[in-house]
């Protein structure tokens, strides 16, 4: 199933008309009709707004995994202007031995040892 087919399936499930979807997303009705008629997919810059309006995760929309078969990946978002980001970037640039030492320090500070 292509992405646009999933979009229309979700619209039907959530009882949202194409007009309501267009108004909620700011995507032209003609564009949405093209997805259906021409079997084309939404542009990548529209995926996040589509997911927000339909209440689905981008991975779920893009991969077609739903319900019990869908496992939300665990990830952390860090602002590039934060101290946390600087620490992560420094860690990534270290050799594996130094990374292991840093991990040991963290474990000791948390009391995991």
pLDDT (mean) for 20-39? 92
Tokens of 6: 């999933």
Can you give the pLDDT at residue 75? 78
Residue 1 has pLDDT above 80, yes or no: no
Can you give the pLDDT at residue 38? 83
Rounded Cα distance, 1 and 4, in Å = 8
36-84 tens-digit pLDDT: 888 789 999 999 999 999 998 888 888 876 554 556 667 778 899 999 9
Domain coordinates of the chain in residue numbers? 3-69, 76-113
Rounded Cα distance, 112 and 108, in Å = 6
Q: What average pLDDT does the chain have? A: 88
pLDDT (mean) for 8-37? 93
Tokens of 68: 């019990």
Provide the 8-state DSSP code for 80: T
- CATH number of this structure's domain 3-69, picked from the four choices 1.10.10.10, 1.10.260.40, 1.20.120.720, 3.40.30.10: 1.10.260.40
The reply to whether the predicted model has a pTM over 0.95 is no
Can you give the pLDDT at residue 73? 64
User: How many other C-beta atoms are found inside a 10 Å radius of the C-beta of residue 106?
Assistant: 11
Rounded Cα distance, 26 and 45, in Å = 12
Show the DSSP H helices in the chain as ranges.
3-13, 18-25, 29-38, 47-54, 58-63, 83-92, 96-110
Residue 3 and residue 46 in contact, taking contact as beta carbons nearer than 8 Å: no
Can you give the pLDDT at residue 21? 95
Residue 4 and residue 35 in contact, taking contact as beta carbons nearer than 8 Å: yes
């Amino acid at each position: 199933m292509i992405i646009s087919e999933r979009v229309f399936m979700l619209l039907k499930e959530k009882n949202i008309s194409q007009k309501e979807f267009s108004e909620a997303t700011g995507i032209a009705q003609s564009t949405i009709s093209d997805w259906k008629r021409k079997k084309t997919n939404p542009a990548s810059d529209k995926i996040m707004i589509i997911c927000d309006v339909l209440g689905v995760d981008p991975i779920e929309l893009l991969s077609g995994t739903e319900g019990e078969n869908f496992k939300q990946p665990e990830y952390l978002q860090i602002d590039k202007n934060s101290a946390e980001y600087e620490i992560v970037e420094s860690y990534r640039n270290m050799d594996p031995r130094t990374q292991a030492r840093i991990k040991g320090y963290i474990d000791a500070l948390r009391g995991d040892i």
